[in-house]
Amino acid sequence: MAQREKERQTQISRDASKKAKVLPGYYYLTNFQTMLQGVARRYGDLLDEVELGFIDSFSALTHDAQCLLVRLISRKGPWFCLAQLSYDEMQDIQGAISTLCDHKLICYEQPDISWLLQKSTKTELGRAIAEVSSALVSGESVEVSYLDPAAVKWLKKRELIEYAQGAGLLSRILSHLVPEDYWFNLSPKVVYRRFELLYFERMSQSLSQFILADLGIHNFEAYSTSIASRSFNTRAEIEGLYRLSALYEEFEEGDLGGKPSDIDIKKFDSFCQRLTELPNFTKDAVNQKLARLTQGLWLMAARQLERLGQFEQALALYANTERTPSRERRARCLNKLGRDDEALGLVELMLESPIEESERLVARRLQKSLHRSLGLEAPELWQGEFNTFKLECQRTGADKNREDGVSNAERVELCAARHLSAVEGEQLRLCIEVENRLFCSLFGLAFWDIIFADVGGAFANPYQSRPSDMYQSEFYPRRKIPIEERLAALASGDTQMIMEHFHQKRGITNDWVHWSLFEEPSLDLLDLGITNRQDKDEIPLLLQLALMAFSGAFLARLFRQMLFDLRYYRAGFPDLIRFHLASESLSTDDGIPNSANNRVTAELIEVKGPGDALRDNQIIWLDWFNRNGVKARVCYLSWLD
């Protein structure tokens, strides 16, 4: 499944790149200025002297100096030199460097020797070593053997470094690799990362997001990013964001989340100490965004403590939050400590009032294990109710290994769809590979206006495919009234908003809607003479059939199930949808089935190839569809050869 999704995303990127715009010469400078202006507009009353000073200093720079600074920010440093810089759009790079130095935005500084050796080319390193060793030999040093420059070309860079280390030359070559006033880095006054955090209000987004929009790869909804909806309203909250961001970066870049055997215990203990010194952002829900970030750090650190076998310390950190998977991990720590009675009590609480569906599922497994440990009767294992069938298929040319390395096992879904599509008597069986994309798209279209509604802290910048709380427990409560109204409308049979949003929003980025599903020629691949509709003014055949096969009342029940845990329930849907409609609906000149006035029904099929097994979320959806009147089965496919 992951490979198929990767294939789709790669194709989407290729298609987008074909349509991509040509970036203007100074796009990066314009984007950086947009970010600064956006932060000044949204948070200007909360910025400190350093941040305001950076805005002023940047504004006072020459055009070339502004361009160079933004280019340096986007490069991997932390040290730079003139020889590395070549930008055709800049008239005077040396002058730009001097200007940045005059404004104290860069500082000349010698790089760390280890970094310098890593970044230097073999040619540069060989020349420096040869010059140093030659000078020492001519100075009658008996400690160093002369390295013939002609021999350098036969040595690898690693071997040159080993030679320099063995000869004691590392400190001496520094002066050759780092002439005075040659290397420089950004000064502490360049606080661009603060502006990224305040502009995007998300640690996962950066200046690169602008480029995706500039290229036309992403087209975003025009939602509100008003000052009233900002996430931080005091300077203390902003400082808290900076501290939390620094801790996240330290955890990720300092290898604190790696294998226990690779962790520097002193560094990790220092990290945990700073965690305990953080303000209690979770108290009285002072700031939900800061609270969630803090809880995320607690969970990350506690998980490492657990891996290190420090279960009591891990329990203490897990106890700071109820956010999943805190209760699960606490139960496991209690089990490791031999406190199974306490662990079982916590597991039963999880079963009684699960925070998310994933918590309920893991609690079932833990309950069985703990019952066994305590000598109690094991609870019956829930496996869902659904039917299975077998399908034997002959490999075809389309199923054989392709040049990109995709294997047969990863294309069993398309093979099954082809075999399960046919005209049988008076019925057309049309089977299409949709996986999670169809029902997620229907959800996104049904709730589009609610998803992008102006809710405090939901949108910080123009480049979001979803609100910041989309997959948090607060999403539904904060929008309960409009969501319930929409569910009621669907339950009454009104699905018009789905088609309206499809027409109005087509092509706009939404985390839920997979536009390519309705555009890709999936029907052509089934060899039934059916063509997918490409007219932008028409509802695509797949969407027409889906809205005929599934009533508004059914969709209301489906979406309510999804709303309990949007992150979990957006996955696990069956691979295929098989529509059943009268074969007379094929009698059209353009080869497009006419589903008007014909009753359409559908069944769902999960395809499993040899060696593949069902996952928990797939079992849940198979069972749910069957209990709600839609046949859902598992097809176990095997190859004839």
What is the predicted pLDDT for the residue at 76?
A: 84
What is the predicted pLDDT for the residue at 587?
A: 47
What is the predicted pLDDT for the residue at 14?
A: 47
State the residue for tokens 């000349």.
108
Contact between residue 364 and residue 351 where contact means Cβ atoms under 8 Å apart = yes
**3 state DSSP class of 386:** coil
Per-residue confidence at 567, pLDDT binned at 50, 70, 90?
Answer: very high
User: What's the CA gap between 581 and 602, in Å, rounded?
Assistant: 9
What is the predicted pLDDT for the residue at 549?
A: 93
What are the residue boundaries of the structural domains of the chain, listed by start?
Answer: 1-111+184-217, 113-177, 235-374, 389-399+408-586+594-639
- pLDDT (tens digit per residue) in 627-637: 999 999 999 99
User: For 533-538, what is the mean pLDDT?
Assistant: 59
Beta carbons within 8 Å of 633's beta carbon, 6+ residues apart = 386, 387, 388, 389, 603, 604, 605, 606, 622
Judged by average pLDDT, the poorest of 18-32, 252-266, 384-398, 519-533 is 519-533
- pLDDT (tens digit per residue) in 115-131: 877 777 777 777 777 77
The average confidence (pLDDT) of the chain is 83
What is the predicted pLDDT for the residue at 378?
A: 78
Helix (H) or strand (E) holding 413: helix 412-420
Regarding beta strands 632-639 and 601-608, do their DSSP bridges make them parallel or antiparallel, or are they unpaired? parallel
Regarding beta strands 79-81 and 106-108, do their DSSP bridges make them parallel or antiparallel, or are they unpaired? unpaired
**180 vs 275: which has the higher pLDDT:** 275
Per-residue confidence at 259, pLDDT binned at 50, 70, 90?
Answer: confident
Per-residue confidence at 29, pLDDT binned at 50, 70, 90?
Answer: very high
User: What's the CA gap between 493 and 547, in Å, rounded?
Assistant: 10
From the options 1.25.40.10, 1.10.10.10, 3.40.50.720, 1.10.579.10, give the CATH code of 235-374: 1.25.40.10
What is the predicted pLDDT for the residue at 387?
A: 93
User: For 317-345, what is the mean pLDDT?
Assistant: 93
Q: In sequence order, which ranges of 27-80 are alpha helices (DSSP H)?
A: 27-43, 49-60, 63-74
Per-residue confidence at 297, pLDDT binned at 50, 70, 90?
Answer: very high
Percent pLDDT > 70 in the chain is: 82
Per-residue confidence at 12, pLDDT binned at 50, 70, 90?
Answer: very low
Judged by average pLDDT, the poorest of 298-302, 321-325, 509-513 is 321-325
Per-residue confidence at 640, pLDDT binned at 50, 70, 90?
Answer: confident
Structure tokens at 104: 């104290």
What is the predicted pLDDT for the residue at 139?
A: 55
User: For 434-462, what is the mean pLDDT?
Assistant: 93
Percent pLDDT > 90 in the chain is: 47
What is the predicted pLDDT for the residue at 235?
A: 94
334: pLDDT strictly greater than 90: yes
Regarding beta strands 422-424 and 427-433, do their DSSP bridges make them parallel or antiparallel, or are they unpaired? antiparallel
What is the predicted pLDDT for the residue at 519?
A: 79
Selection from 441, 436, 468, 472 nearest residue 452 by Cα: 468
405: pLDDT strictly greater than 60: no
**3 state DSSP class of 608:** strand
User: For 545-569, what is the mean pLDDT?
Assistant: 95
State the residue for tokens 């000064």.
187
State the residue for tokens 């600074």.
69
422: pLDDT strictly greater than 70: yes
**492 vs 215: which has the higher pLDDT:** 492
- Residue 397 CB-density burial (10 A; 0-12 exposed, 13-18 middle, 19+ buried): exposed
47: pLDDT strictly greater than 80: yes
What is the predicted pLDDT for the residue at 426?
A: 65
Judged by average pLDDT, the poorest of 256-260, 350-354, 554-558 is 256-260
**21 vs 196: which has the higher pLDDT:** 196
- pLDDT (tens digit per residue) in 584-620: 554 445 545 554 545 789 999 999 988 889 998 999 9
16: pLDDT strictly greater than 80: no
- Identity (one letter) of the amino acid at 118? Q
What is the predicted pLDDT for the residue at 529?
A: 52
- pLDDT (tens digit per residue) in 186-207: 999 999 999 999 998 888 777 7
Structure tokens at 306: 């657990």
Q: What is the three-state SS of 95-108?
A: HHHHHHHHCCCEEE
User: For 280-286, what is the mean pLDDT?
Assistant: 66
**340 vs 25: which has the higher pLDDT:** 340
Structure tokens at 541: 């055949």
User: What's the CA gap between 358 and 363, in Å, rounded?
Assistant: 9
27: pLDDT strictly greater than 60: yes
Residue 11's Cβ-side half-sphere holds a number of Cα atoms within 13 Å equal to 14
What is the predicted pLDDT for the residue at 457?
A: 83
